Amino acid sequence: MMSQALDNKLAVNLSSGNSVDRSLPFRMLTWLLIVSIIMLFAAFTSAYIVRRSEGNWQEFAFPQGLLWNTIVIVLSSVTMQLAYFAAKKDNFGALKVTLFLTFALGIVFLAGQWFVWEDLVAIKIFFGGNNANPSGSFIYVLTGVHGFHLITGLVFLLIVLVSTFNFKVHSKKMLSLELCTTYWHFLGALWVYLYVFLTIFK
């Protein structure tokens, strides 16, 4: 009888959600990815400062597009957070619109990066070759690697967007949107950090 009572209690606990949190591995993977990216860019920016102190460092005015890109990615973080709030309220119309806007702003950001690179080439700032300078090469690396990670964020966002249209994202099923929101905010914060860093140490 005691054994049966314990089994019944365990069944109740499992059905009420008191089991092992199955979302934990996904949360850990997301944060491990974020920490690894932080370490990568910490290494890049440290190398930037060290190389700059060694001389032979060309200073130039950054294209205005970097500022516009900063505004765009901050706006995308706002729309991403609005999408999260909409999902919490099961407001599916607002959820779809804000996720789509976030995705569109991400595309605009990447296009803006391309135009920034074109502006750099126009003022003879190259990634490599005989006419390249380490200062310009670092700009391409920092913005390019960030752009690559933003593409991974867009893929993640697209998956969540498709799930939303299939009604697989709602107030009772928030994990994918929560992790996507966390990763997207991180990418936005990382870009703001890079913009401030490059403005100070240009």
> What is the 3-class SS of 159-175, one letter each residue?
HHHHHHHCCCCECCECH
pTM, to two decimals = 0.86
Model confidence pLDDT, tens digit, residues 90-115: 999 999 999 999 999 999 999 999 99
Model confidence pLDDT, tens digit, residues 8-30: 443 333 333 344 467 788 899 99
Longest distance between any two alpha carbons in the chain, whole Å: 84
Helices 134-165 + 175-200 axis angle, to 10: 160
Can you tell me the distance from the alpha carbon of 157 to that of 178, in angstroms, rounded to the nearest whole number? Answer: 11
* Contacts with 47 (C-beta within 8 Å, 6 or more apart), sequence order: 138
Name residue 171's amino acid. Answer: S
The residue length of the chain stands at 202
pLDDT value, residue 8 = 45
The neighbouring-strand residues paired with 170 are 173
The domain ranges of the chain are 25-49+66-200
Out of 2.30.30.90, 3.40.50.720, 3.30.460.10, 1.20.120.80, select the CATH number for domain 25-49+66-200. Answer: 1.20.120.80
pLDDT value, residue 93 = 95
Lowest mean pLDDT among 27-36, 123-132, 178-187: 123-132
* pLDDT > 70 in the chain, percent: 90
What does each C-alpha distance from 191 to 7, 46, 53, 57 come to in angstroms?
52, 16, 23, 23
pLDDT value, residue 121 = 93
